[in-house]
Amino acid sequence: MKYIQIFIVISLLITNISNSETTETNKPLIFNEAKILLKETAKQYKNTLIEGLQHNDLKKALKYCNKEVEKLISKDNEKDYTIKRVSLRPRNKNNYPTLYEKEILEKFNKLSLEDNKYLALEHTEIIKDENNNNKFVYAKAIRIKEVCLNCHGSNINNDLKKEIQKLYPDDRAINYKLNDIRGAFVMYRNIKD
């Protein structure tokens, strides 16, 4: 009986070690896949914003952004990734970060303030979810570009401000400066051992 218990314990240890090696071994592959997917999503996001700005009508672009960009970011991806957009100062109530995401955003802000205004800030790790399953996380900071200042800066046109308030009554996404961290894209993927 004692030998059977020892055998079971050793078997469980070996299984756990091999599972963690598999997860760690696959991490670079999953990281590359996540970066490529986020690059595609960010490109679609940018194209959606450009399409909204085509007619040089910021109010129209705001409404377009309100509907189309949210659809793009909130959908789960066919490659088993969930993609979110989060911010410490969100415009949309759906973009508040979890406590975990808040820590990542605060780290990005701190790094950005330390003369890294042009550095692409990224975060990746494998965490345990609430069910003790492995989950891969990839986060990339979203920086304020010149065009973003039209709706997120400190000199927003009054008519546009009124439209923003209609769509987002609890808006906190203003008074940004060029290259500030606006938020982050955060991607999650369950990892099967």
Token pair, residue 137, equals 């996380």
The model's pLDDT over 63-82, given as tens digits with 9 standing for 90+, comes to 777 776 666 665 555 567 88
Domain that includes residue 90, residue range: 2-190
Number of structural domains in the chain: 1
Other C-beta atoms within 10 Å of 168: how many? 16
The model's pLDDT over 157-176, given as tens digits with 9 standing for 90+, comes to 898 899 999 999 999 999 99
> What's this model's pTM, rounded to 2 decimal places?
0.77
Q: Look at residues 79, 78, 119, 84 and name the one whose alpha carbon lies nearest to residue 100.
A: 84
What's the rounded Cα separation, in Å, for the pair 161 and 13? 59
